């Protein structure tokens, strides 16, 4: 083993994420969200965060419900076929959670601008959308300085911290992603500090067998945490599917603020290994893994 180790424990996240930080949350739809890290943020009572998501679901809904956010930057938050995200809806409709809604493309291009260290990037953006009118600090119509064409500038997004969940890493923080990478890599490039949880930590020789799967180099990573099933109840393709049974339960708990508190007690405010037991342990993990393996092509 050469070089210093980036490997730490879940509880080490408090050395990197501080109250009031802007946190970019990886994953997309019901896939590969860094859920173990999110549960640890809630356990650690880190508050006043601004979360940034492209396509969020239970990750964002959980952070909102647990009272960790004071602002949300998003293009989409939904539980998809399970319905609208209950805490997200309540927070905006009833409690006036400050939020910046953007188009998905503008979030991605804004993160790319952040990674390139430029204040904005132009593109043929959402002309005619009310979002441009309502959020002039995020979008500006402008003329191309060369041709005079109309373009829209998407403001750079520079998170304090990016949190993502990936497939595997070595001790140096070489990160392999086999499934849906979403905007994880752009978030990592744009952020000042980065935490990556992975399904498994392996020796560097394992990483070298498939270097093409390595998407993030160790110098862009501050902390690596081994968290098997760390995306649960979201998926980690192609290794396990999202846990529809748990999400159905979550939707029942999240129906009211009172019952949602009970969800936090029953599932979140306990060590991560107890969470994995509470959701059905190895038996449930095996079902989710088998479903992801047994697919049928036509």
Among 14, 18, 67, 123, binds another protein (CB under 8 A): 123
Q: Are 175 and 196 spatial neighbours (Cβ–Cβ below 8 Å)?
A: yes
Q: Based on the shown chain and the rule CB under 8 A, indicate whether residue 183 belongs to the binding site for another protein.
A: yes
Q: Based on the shown chain and the rule CB under 8 A, indicate whether residue 127 belongs to the binding site for another protein.
A: yes
Among 40, 112, 199, 272, binds another protein (CB under 8 A): 112
Bridge partners, residue 122, by sequence:
153
Among 17, 31, 161, 264, binds another protein (CB under 8 A): 31
Q: What angle do CA 247, 229, 235 make, to 5 degrees?
A: 50
Count CB neighbours of 130 within 10 A: 9
Least separation in angstroms between CB 185 and another protein: 5
* Most distant CA atoms of the chain, gap in Å: 61
CA atoms within 13 A on the CB side of 225: 26
Q: Are 108 and 75 spatial neighbours (Cβ–Cβ below 8 Å)?
A: no
Least separation in angstroms between CB 292 and another protein: 4
Least separation in angstroms between CB 198 and another protein: 17
Q: What angle do CA 97, 103, 105 make, to 5 degrees?
A: 135
Q: Based on the shown chain and the rule CB under 8 A, indicate whether residue 195 belongs to the binding site for another protein.
A: no
> Taking Cα atoms as reference points, which of 292, 245, 246 lies closest to residue 267?
246
Least separation in angstroms between CB 130 and another protein: 4
Q: Based on the shown chain and the rule CB under 8 A, indicate whether residue 28 belongs to the binding site for another protein.
A: yes
Q: Are 122 and 152 spatial neighbours (Cβ–Cβ below 8 Å)?
A: yes
Q: Based on the shown chain and the rule CB under 8 A, indicate whether residue 50 belongs to the binding site for another protein.
A: no
Q: Based on the shown chain and the rule CB under 8 A, indicate whether residue 154 belongs to the binding site for another protein.
A: no
Q: Are 162 and 191 spatial neighbours (Cβ–Cβ below 8 Å)?
A: yes
Q: Based on the shown chain and the rule CB under 8 A, indicate whether residue 139 belongs to the binding site for another protein.
A: no
Dihedral of the alpha carbons of 284, 285, 288, 291, in degrees to the nearest 10:
-100
Q: Judging by DSSP bridges, how do beta strands 139-143 and 120-123 pair with one another? A: unpaired
Q: Based on the shown chain and the rule CB under 8 A, indicate whether residue 182 belongs to the binding site for another protein.
A: yes
- Residue 192 is given by DSSP the state S
Site string for another protein, 216-255 (x = CB under 8 A): -------------------x-xx--xx-xx--x-------
Restricting to residues 160-179, which ones interact with another protein according to CB under 8 A?
178-179
Bridge partners, residue 288, by sequence:
none
Q: Based on the shown chain and the rule CB under 8 A, indicate whether residue 105 belongs to the binding site for another protein.
A: yes
Residue that is written with structure tokens 């809630």 in the block: 42
Q: Based on the shown chain and the rule CB under 8 A, indicate whether residue 59 belongs to the binding site for another protein.
A: no
Scanning 17-25, 42-50, 181-189, 258-266 for contacts with another protein by CB under 8 A, the matching segment is 181-189
Q: Contact residues for another protein (CB under 8 A)?
A: 28-31, 54-55, 74-78, 80-81, 84-85, 88-89, 92-93, 96, 101, 103-105, 108-109, 112, 123-131, 134, 178-186, 235, 237-238, 241-242, 244-245, 248, 287, 290-298
């Amino acid at each position: 083993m050469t070089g210093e180790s980036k490997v730490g424990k879940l509880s080490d996240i408090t050395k990197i994420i501080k109250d009031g930080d802007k946190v970019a949350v990886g994953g997309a739809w019901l896939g590969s969200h860094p859920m173990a890290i999110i549960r640890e943020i809630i356990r650690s009572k880190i508050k006043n965060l601004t979360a940034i998501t492209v396509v969020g679901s239970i990750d964002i809904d959980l952070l909102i419900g647990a009272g960790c956010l004071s602002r949300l930057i998003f293009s989409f938050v939904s539980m998809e076929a399970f319905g609208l995200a209950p805490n997200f809806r309540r927070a905006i409709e009833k409690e006036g959670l400050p939020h910046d809604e953007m188009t998905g493309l503008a979030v991605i291009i804004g993160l790319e601008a952040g990674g390139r260290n430029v204040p904005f990037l132009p593109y043929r953006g959402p002309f005619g959308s009310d979002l441009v009118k309502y959020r002039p600090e995020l979008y500006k119509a402008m003329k191309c300085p060369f041709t005079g064409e109309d373009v829209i500038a998407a403001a750079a997004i520079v998170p304090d911290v990016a949190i993502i969940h990936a497939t595997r890493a070595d001790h140096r923080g070489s990160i392999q992603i086999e499934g849906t990478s979403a905007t994880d890599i752009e978030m990592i490039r744009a952020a000042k500090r980065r935490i990556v949880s992975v399904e498994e930590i392996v020796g560097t020789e394992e990483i070298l067998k498939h270097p093409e799967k390595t998407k993030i180099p160790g110098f862009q990573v501050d902390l690596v945490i081994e968290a098997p099933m760390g995306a649960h109840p979201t998926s980690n393709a192609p290794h396990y599917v999202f846990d529809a049974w748990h999400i159905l339960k979550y939707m029942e708990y999240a129906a009211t603020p009172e019952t949602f508190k009970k969800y936090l007690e029953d599932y979140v405010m306990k060590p991560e290994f107890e969470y994995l037991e509470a959701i059905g342990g190895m038996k449930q993990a095996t079902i989710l893994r088998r479903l992801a393996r047994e697919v049928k092509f036509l």
